[in-house]
Amino acid sequence: MQPNEITEVLNRPMSRELLARDFTRLAYVAKDGTPRNIPIGFTWNGSEIVMCTSTNAPKLAALRQNPMVALTIDTEVHPPKLLLIRGRAELDVVDGIPEEYLQMNGSYQMTPEQRVEWEAGVRALYDSMVRIVVTPTWAKLIDFETNLPSPIEELIQQRAERQQA
């Protein structure tokens, strides 16, 4: 997929809504060769998905071994809205708490007092964290109204062709 095609998908209004959500599902291959798909908080900075994790998270060794990932950001309503993204994870160890971690946890319902307490607890727990940064190399938006999964689009096309014959 060309960069301009990825940008076009990610700039659609529904994609922008989904990129403003709190959680994505990160799919990767574990060190034992089996697939993993985990929920993880994220933030979108306009060109990259940024997730943060502890320095001792098992997924880090797997991502160092095989950095190719897939992300799903979706809704819980019918019809679902899905943003599918593929890319390569880059790992960046940072001292303290990355600003993105504080941002991605900013939409929870907390009073200002709770927020101060939460942030103090986070800062006391982590000496450092790892930023998992994914630049999209492929993206697809599925809204089941204007965009469908490719196999369904293919079946609709085949049916239309049969009806015309």
Does residue 106 carry a pLDDT above 60? Answer: no
DSSP-derived 3-state class of residue 11: coil
Radius of gyration of the chain (CA): 19
Whether residue 133 is predicted with pLDDT greater than 70 in this model: the reply is: yes
Q: What is the pTM of this model?
A: 0.86
Query: Do the Cβ atoms of 143 and 17 come closer than 8 Å?
Result: no
User: Cβ(29)–Cβ(160) under 8 Å?
Assistant: no
Q: Is the peptide bond between 79 and the residue preceding it cis, with omega within 30 degrees of 0? A: yes
For the chain, domain boundaries: 3-164
Q: Which CATH class is domain 3-164?
A: mainly beta
Residue 145 has pLDDT above 70, yes or no: yes
pLDDT digit string, tens, across residues 52-88: 999 999 999 999 999 999 999 999 888 899 999 999 9
Q: What is the pLDDT of residue 107?
A: 58
Q: How far apart are CA 110 and CA 121, in angstroms?
A: 14
Q: What is the reported pLDDT for 108?
A: 64
